[in-house]
Structure 1
Amino acid sequence: MHRRVWRRAVPLVGALTLTHSGALLPTAQAEDIQSRQWYLDAMRADDLWKVSTGKGVTVAVLDTGVDPEAAEIRGRVLQGKDFYNTAPDAWRDTNGHGTNMAVSIAGSGAQGGLKGLAPDAKILPVTVIKDKVSIGGGKAAAKGIRYAADSDARIINLSMGGRALGTDRAEQEAAVKYALSKGKLIFASTGNEGAERVEFPAAIPGVVAVGAVGTTGKVSKFSNTGPQVALAAPGEEAPIHCTESSGKYCEGEGTSVATALASASAALIWSKHPDWTANQVLRVMMDTAGHNGPVPSKYIGYGTVRPAQVLLEGKGDPGDPDVNPLLAARQKESPKPSASPDTAKKQDSKDSQSHPQKEKAANEADGNGTLWIVAGVGGAIVVVVGGALALRARNRQAG
């Protein structure tokens, strides 16, 4: 029997709130943890790694810090910086969230541990949040984005989100604009409330807002939706290191994981095509994303990331190196007459459900039989790692 636990955090002005969803996996499963990483098979990781492993690409992980001694990422973590505690580096992670995101991106699988989708990528840790409630983190996030923009990192991963108001919102928007001007590719979580609202910084123009899908290919119930959603990636039943139980694994879920896998997908593509700009990497990701029905969808944007389409099938047109495809697409979307409530509900229902025949066609095109690739699937800031303003943790415990 499984027990579902829901937790809610009181919204705090000027606070950053962490969320980690994870239920302890049985010992037998933990002994072969890589077999639990279903999304690696779905994304044809073994074939991808014959073409690209993310080598030569650095991903800045703006989070709770990263533990460089974690077996899977040992030797992959750069010095970094702590903007929350003003420490000299970001090699401290008292929560574990940042380390888990780094492992999802660049884990080597050492000592039978977890494999990252881009195992040879480097991680630049940037601490902008700490523990369960961190006061004043909005400004730290903006400073972290600017720091990452001035670094050698090509990709900025923000597995967090929240409601931004006033000056903190303006500072984050300015930081994002600066990072884009420096040629960076920014991924951020849409949120974990299941609400029709994309959190900040994912809602900022130019940021790739990432939603989550499950093993069936449908959008996850917890994944926030909205017109800013750009892409989606697997975000359910993902093994992670337990944050409260050393040496054990938990089953994680959230748009945090989805964001990390989207960043890792970009790292694989950029490693293979180092001369491409961020705009070109993003364009091929959007062009080759798995979707069903009209795009962009408020659930998964332009679709679920499919790096195999780019690296193994040679699909996707990189196009103009100087034009941001996400911003360009938004500008082309002309205002349309508002649909009646009944029409909107019917369309939302259609978008959120998978179509068996189209699922089959999409899977055959991608060369695998896993269904996750289809669609349907004076101020202050409140930020939640994983993208939720109110904590939403789904713990499954055997008993």
Structure 2
Amino acid sequence: MRAAAAALAGTLVGLSVTPAMAAVTATSAEAPVGASCLDVDMATTDQRTVKGDNTANLSLHVAEAQALARKAGRRPGQDVKVVVVDSGAGGFNNPGPTDLPSGHGIAVAGIIAGADQSEPKIDVGIAPGAGIVDKRFYDSPERSQEGEKVPMAADLAAALADVANRRAPGGDLGGRVVVVVPTQVPHSPELEAQVDRLVDTGVLLVAASGDRPTGDSGFPDGYQDEPKKGEDVADLVWPAADPGVVAVGVSTPGSSGTVLRSSAIDLSAPGADAVSRARNGGWCVVAPASTAWAAAQVAGVAALVWSMHPDEDAAHLRTRLEQTASGNGGPSSPITGYGVVQPVEAIQRDVAEMGAEKKVQNQPARPPRAEADVLAGARHDAVWWGLGGGAALVVLLIVRPLLSRRR
């Protein structure tokens, strides 16, 4: 498996993302403008398209990563299933309306594998070749909604138990599976047991690290305002709090007013300005910044990368994502974890020597691969010539007075 990963990395090195490419992307992108995905209802007919760019995907260099997959003869996300445990993701690519109380799950599925918008042309899904599996367990993400089923620990535990059962021999969820939980609930012993059980089946479980509640009844209570010094919800927000889960934060600057700080965060993603799918069959923009959208982005990247490394298991995939994130090599951050996920680096980098055992040691992410320094040799020679010349000048200044006196 390690030899295969090294060979693949060697064949793909020609499509590395250079700093110049990143600069062009940053300056040429136009933020998407369109209806917010959660504001679009099934009857909306005048808000079906988005203008601008999918700036979230551009910042992650998704197009370059997809090009690597296609060059290798694979669809991005091919042979990987992504289970969306949310408000319902069925019909996320329908051309017409989908009858669901909330568009949250559809937006999550659209970020992962949504069909591209044709006019104007906008790339949407990160891993369009992945198979989306719908596991609905609530109706509305807002706890203030009356008469609708909201996210609860007991219901989420039951949903994850069903997914684990389907992973059993003969079940319909064999092979490579990413499970994404883009919501937050309190801890319960049963939920913790089912999270651990599901992770033990060999899935990669990705979860939102937590958004700041907007109402008095929101969870977790007492975190409605701006973050206080030392804020840390690592033990409060589940399933992200479980060490077997990849907890995802938001990397977009200025998002502290909508997301929570947590030392449990492993990876981060933009969590905003992504184009996705809406309940009316059109396209929409996810807003505001949310760890739910960031979790969907990381799940999509995971499916894309896993499709390029089919011989690796979920533990190796997690190591690959974390060790190629754009961290600074230091401790994890309570906002971005080990860094922003980088699909191109995750595909290309030979991380076989890291091994899944490194996760147990909680190693920090390494910074992205540095460009080769072609002038290093010339600088080395120049330094030594300069030192030699300086030494000769010092000797000359000392000896000259002595020679003058002798004359």
Tell me the TM-score normalised to structure 1 length.
Answer: 0.64
Change (3 A) 1:292 1:182: same
Aligned-residue Cα RMSD (Å) equals 3.6
C-alpha displacement of 1:316? 3.1
Contact 2:345 2:368 (C-alpha < 8 Å) held by counterparts? no
Find 1:295's aligned residue among 324, 331, 355.
Answer: 331
Change (3 A) 1:47 1:197: same
Find 2:128's aligned residue among 119, 137, 155.
Answer: 119
Select the structure with the greater relative contact order (CA < 8 A; seq sep ≥ 6).
1
Q: Measure the CA separation in 2 of the matches of 1:97 and 1:57.
A: 22
Q: Measure the CA separation in 1 of the matches of 2:335 and 2:329.
A: 11
What residue in structure 1 maps to residue 54 of structure 2?
A: 37
Q: Kindly report which structure 2 residues correspond to 1:304-319, keeping only aligned pairs within 5 A, or say none.
A: 304-311=340-347, 313-317=348-352, 319=354
- The alignment status of 1:93 with 2:131, answered yes or no, reads no
Contact 1:72 1:110 (C-alpha < 8 Å) held by counterparts? no
C-alpha displacement of 1:51? 2.4
Change (3 A) 1:30 1:207: same
C-alpha displacement of 1:212? 0.6
Change (3 A) 1:317 1:92: farther
Contact 1:93 1:99 (C-alpha < 8 Å) held by counterparts? no
Higher strand share: 1
What residue in structure 2 maps to residue 139 of structure 1?
A: 154
C-alpha displacement of 1:123? 0.5
C-alpha displacement of 1:191? 1.0
What residue in structure 2 maps to residue 182 of structure 1?
A: 201
What residue in structure 2 maps to residue 264 of structure 1?
A: 300
Change (3 A) 1:136 1:233: closer
What residue in structure 2 maps to residue 387 of structure 1?
A: none
Q: Measure the CA separation in 1 of the matches of 2:66 and 2:185.
A: 34
Q: Measure the CA separation in 2 of the matches of 1:299 and 1:129.
A: 27
What residue in structure 2 maps to residue 230 of structure 1?
A: 266
Name the SS of the counterpart of 1:163 in structure 2: coil
Tell me the TM-score normalised to structure 2 length.
Answer: 0.63
What residue in structure 2 maps to residue 156 of structure 1?
A: 179
Counterpart residue identity of residue 131, structure 2: K
Name the SS of the counterpart of 1:203 in structure 2: coil
Counterpart residue identity of residue 201, structure 1: P
C-alpha displacement of 1:98? 0.5
Contact 1:72 1:107 (C-alpha < 8 Å) held by counterparts? no
Change (3 A) 1:98 1:319: same
Q: Measure the CA separation in 2 of the matches of 1:29 and 1:93.
A: 18
Counterpart residue identity of residue 109, structure 1: D
Post-superposition CA distance 1:36-77 (Å, at most 9, x none)? 311222222222112230010000000011132633799xxx
Change (3 A) 1:20 1:190: farther
Change (3 A) 1:110 1:240: closer
Counterpart residue identity of residue 113, structure 2: A
Change (3 A) 1:363 1:314: closer
What residue in structure 2 maps to residue 49 of structure 1?
A: 66
Where do 5+ consecutive residues of structure 2 fail to align?
1-35, 70-75, 168-172, 213-226, 372-407
Larger radius of gyration: 2
Q: Measure the CA separation in 1 of the matches of 2:110 and 2:321.
A: 22
Name the SS of the counterpart of 2:132 in structure 1: strand
Change (3 A) 1:172 1:45: same
- The alignment status of 1:202 with 2:240, answered yes or no, reads yes
Where do 5+ consecutive residues of structure 1 fail to align?
1-18, 75-90, 334-360, 366-399
Q: Measure the CA separation in 1 of the matches of 2:293 and 2:370.
A: 26
Number of residue pairs aligned between Structure 1 and Structure 2: 291
Change (3 A) 1:281 1:72: farther
